[in-house]
Structure formats: C-alpha cells, structure tokens
Structure 1
C-alpha cells in the first residue's frame, strides 16, 4: 500500500464495489486507511431484499455527513403476508467512519434459501412455479373454516356475535395488518429513492404488495436514471390494476432502458403516450408481449419514435404465440404504427417457460451493475 498512489487504490475500489454490497463492506473493515479510500464507493452498488433494509439504508443516508453515492440499486419486497416480521437483521451496523449497513445477494441467499418465498401466482423466488397460495390467503381460509365459540357469544355487556361475523372480523383485522405493513414499506421506498435520486443510474425493483400502486406512488422523479427494471405484483383478492385519468408523469427524463413486468398502470391515451410522458428519451424496451393489450386492437403509433429496440418475451408454453406474432415483419409494422415513417425497430422474441422470479430479477441486475448484459 505504501508503494502505490492513493488514486490507484481508489480506482480499484470503484471497480470492486459492484457486487451488491459485500465487497464495499469488507474493504471498509480492512484498515482505517482502506476504510478511507473505499468510503466513496461503499454504497455504490447495493442489494436490499427486505423492507427493513430499505428503511435502515434511508436512515443512514439521512445522517449528517453521509457519504451516499448510490449508483446501482436492487430493491425487493417479498409478500409481507408470508412473514410475521420483516426484521431479519441482515445488517452490519454503520459507525460514523466505518462499515456499511448494506446487504448482499449472497448474504440474503444464506439466510433465505431460494424457493422459500413465493411470488404471486405460485412463483418461487427463483422463478420456478408452485402450487401454493400466499400465506395470508391460507390464513384467511383457515379462519373461515374454524369455529370460534367464545367469539360467537360476544364479550360481556355486548350483543352476541355470530360465528360468521367473528370470522369476518378476524379476516378484516388480518388484512388491515398486512395493508399497514405495505404502506410503511412503500413510504420507506419513496424516502430512500428521493435520497439517492441525484446519483442513481441503475434501478431494479421486484415488489409484491397487497394492493396495486401507480408507478408515481412507488417511485419519485429520478432525473439521472439510465436503466429501470420494475416488476410489480399484488396479492389482494379483490384488487384490480391501478387506474387513473391522469397522464403519465415525467419521472425518468434520462431513462434509456426499461424492463417491466407484472401489472401496468391503466391511463388515458395509448401506450406510446404513456411511455413518452414517463421516459421521453427511451431507446430500449423489454416486456412480455401479453402486457401490451394495444397490440391486439390496431391502434397507431405504438411506441415513441426514440425506441429503436424492443424485446418481447414470449411464453414457450403458450398456444397463442402464432396468433399474436404472425411474423417479425408484421410485428415491426404494428409497433411502429404501420405508416412507414417511423425509424426501423429491432425486434427480439426470447422464449421463457415462466415469468421471472425475484432471484432471476436480482441476478440480471447484478450482471448489469458489474458491466454485463443482464436482461439486455
């Protein structure tokens, strides 16, 4: 260390801290000197896999003199109804001059083996299908089947409560607890993203909640963001995809690449108008072809003229692929409006057996953070 200039060590630290957090955390513990040299990059690339980690990172960045500098961020929120407590404590406490309270994909995999959690529709964390309901739905079913004799008699001095009323009251209380946890998680997500909005370049979000949210209810304006991968799912039995009469807000003026999955906002106007309002500089788009209902109704000007590449994910198990995509030439005409004036769009159609799970979403983000291709 005495023979190399500090600028070289700083450059090495900038290249090393691209793995979701563990390298930056380790470098900060080597020595006081390395702690000082690596500090600008300790929080450069972070993977957060629980709502608690999102909240605590926000606490760190709000401290006076916080280094910040978050450029690449992965955030996931598993179905909160599966776990009675998101307090898994996968953190190293951050002192005033050492350590980082970040988590890593490797750390989270050790504490939460892949396949332990479930996505909406029975997907496990690694994208493999399952036959399970989210836990809170199982609890709802269990409550609905179990007799509660004491509740049926009512409390002293009150009117007797029927068994059905008691069950409904329990179900309502369970839903309210989960809904409150969801709201707190969303509030902490917004707070964190506002704190890193000036430096954030790559963001990947895999979020499951009880209710569906508009994109501006989850993500604030990020003026320098270059890439966004976002998957949103909800577990509520009676919820529908979020609808609004407002046009899409300008959240990502510098965004070049967008990968989205799960549900999408329902807004007035075409999908092209939605993307143009949200990310006017967009050049590459990736999504499931089934997430674009407009492709079936013949509307013009599908996508903004800035878009030059589209990756449509096709299910290898679907029998409707041939009907939706008769040929690449026809699809190109469809997505460009069919008037021949739009610039050529490069189309790709990868086949997937099943939608991405949280584990795959994180692996693709990690590839991009480390300079790889990821989902692109």
Structure 2
C-alpha cells in the first residue's frame, strides 16, 4: 500500500463507495491507514431504511464537521417494508415497535434536518415509500449540486409559487405515486429546476392540454403566467400512463381512461422527446427500488 500515494488510494476508495454504505464501513475497519485515507468517502453513499436508521444517521452526521459529512448519494425509505431488512437485532417485532412508537411529525423533522445537513454535497437523492408529506412537488430547500432526484410518495402543495431555482443543477427528476395533484405541477418544476433534461412523471400530473402547451405544441388560451413551457434543455419526457382499464371498472370509467390514453399517444407522435411507459398501480417494493438505486 505504501507504494501508491494516498491521493490515488483516496480516488480508488471514492469509486468503491457507491453502494449502501457497506463498503465505506468495511474500509474503516481494515487498518488505521485505510481508515484515515477512506474517511472522506465513508459516508459518500448511504442507504437509510426506517426511522431508527434515519435518527441514528442524523445523530452521527450532526457530530461531524461539514467537511467530514459529505454525502453524495442518499437513498431513504421510511417505515414501509423495513421488516424485509430485519436481521437478528432488528426483527419484524422491533420494526413494528418503531412503526407504532415513532411519531410521523418527529420522523419528518428528522428527515428534513438530515437533508439540510447533506444538501451542500448531495448529488443524487431518492426518497422511497414514505408516508411523510412534503410541502411541495419537489423539496422546499436548496440543493446546489443535486443532479438527480427521485421521489415516491405523497405531498401537500401549499405554495403555488416556491422560491426560484432551488435546484440549479438538477437534470433528472422522477416523481412517482403521489395523491395530491396541483394545478400548477409543471410550473413549479420549471421554476425550481430550470435546467432539467429528463423528467419522468405520472400521466395524472397534468392534462393533455397542459403538456401540449408546455411542449410548445399548442398556444395557451389563458394567461401565460398560469402556464409554463418546459425548458429547451429537456431531452426526454417519460409519461407513466394510467394502468389499462379493468373489466371491473365502470363502463364510463373505461371510456374515459381509454380516451386519455389515446390523447397522450397522439401527443407522443408529435414530439420525439416523449416516451410513454405503462404505469404501475402498485408500489415498487423497497428491495427493487434499492437495487435500482445501487446499480
């Protein structure tokens, strides 16, 4: 090891620490020399599952200096399906106790404070299967270097005009499974992330009219202040279509669903940037989401 400069080892460790945090923890136990050299990469990539890990990580990072807590890649999945990862020390019974005893407000505050700690260095963030309501379409805090954001779960859109350019370097946005759909969904995204290149959203996020105006296919018939065009930087828009109508649905529901699907198919033929994807009416399991994130 002495034959290679520490700076080279540091780069190697940085490339190695892109999993759920296991590699960083393992390197810190190899030797004192490796522990010191790999220290800057130890928390580079972290996976947090459940409120217990969330609170432990927050306490750990709070005790470190800003230079030592540079988290670049963060995956958070709170409460749902955490029992899948329960071991001898954190079995299903323990998970149930955390679920019952942890207040959602307290967990939400811990998540917000954790994100504030790591926001200066965060490059990629995925928040998956959480019942914590966020207050905006994306997140209402500044992430100066964040380039990729994936959000699964509900939000309450209380502020129709969030601060501008909270995500100056955000390029890829994937939003999935939320309940409340604001009337100014696209406007909020363009306002806070003006340089997006890839956007993946559910069909119900907007009407066929709204997306045609946003893409410049149609001219707006209302005030331009109420609608926004997507930026020229956009390279791909993936629209996750609603699941195909079921035989159990009402006749009227089937007709409406099919009409909406046809409208979006026609729109996709007019703009090569649009790709249609079949929607999933069930939640993506935490295990699958974690594997995608690591890969």
TM-score range, shorter chain: 0.7 to 0.9
Matches within 5 A, 1:126-141: none
Give, in angstroms, the shift of residue 245 of structure 1: 5.2
Q: 1:354/1:298 Cα in 2 relative to 1: closer, same or farther (>3 Å)?
A: closer
RMSD: 3.4
1:281 maps to which of 188, 195, 204: 195
CA distance in 2 between partners of 1:47 and 1:229 (Å): 14
Query: Are the equivalent residues in 1 in contact too, given 2:51–2:107 (CA < 8 A)?
Result: yes
Distance 1:346 1:365 in 2: 24
Cα displacement string for residues 84-134 of structure 1 (whole angstroms, at most 9, x for unaligned residues) = xx9x9xxxxxxxxxxxxxxxxxxx73539xxx89xxxxxxxxxxxxxxxxx
The offset of 1:36, in angstroms, is 0.8
Per-residue CA deviations over 1:300-343 (Å, capped at 9, x if unaligned) read: 22651332201122356545675333377722378xxxxxxxxx
Paired residue total = 263
* Structure 1 counterpart of 2:173: 258
Q: 2:120 aligns with which of 198, 201, 206?
A: 198
Contact 2:137 2:189 in 1 (8 A): no
Q: Could you list the per-position Cα deviations for residues 112-157 of structure 1 after superposition, in whole angstroms to 9, with x for gaps in the alignment?
A: 9xxx89xxxxxxxxxxxxxxxxx9xxxxxxxxxxxxxxxxxxxxxx
SS in 1 for 2:153: strand
User: Where does residue 276 of structure 2 map in the other structure?
Assistant: 349
Gaps of 5+ in 2: 216-228, 247-253
Residue matched to 1:323: 259
Aligned to 1:242: 156
Q: Whole-Å Cα distance in 2 between the matches of residues 187 and 35 of structure 1?
A: 32
Aligned-partner Cα distance in 1 for 2:149–2:107:
20
The 5 Å alignment of 1:41-120 reads 41-65=41-65, 67-79=68-80, 109=85, 111=87
Query: Secondary structure at 1:220's aligned position in 2?
Result: coil
Larger Rg over CA atoms: 1
Name stretches of at least 5 consecutive residues in structure 1 with no aligned partner.
89-107, 118-134, 136-176, 234-240, 335-343, 368-376
Residue 15 (structure 2) pairs with residue 25 (structure 1): no
1:271 matched to 2:185: yes
Quick one: distance in 2 between partners of 1:298 and 1:282?
15
Which protein, 1 or 2, shows the higher relative CO under an 8 Å CA cutoff with sep ≥ 6? 1
Q: TM-score, normalised by structure 1?
A: 0.61
Structure 2 distance, partners of 1:281, 1:29, is 41
Secondary structure of 1:208's counterpart equals coil
SS of the residue corresponding to residue 361 of structure 1 reads helix
Q: Which residue of 2 aligns with 1:304?
A: 230
- Structure 1 contact 296–324 (Cα < 8 Å) conserved: no
The alpha-carbon distance between structure 1 residues 347 and 313, as it changes in their structure 2 partners (threshold 3 A), is same
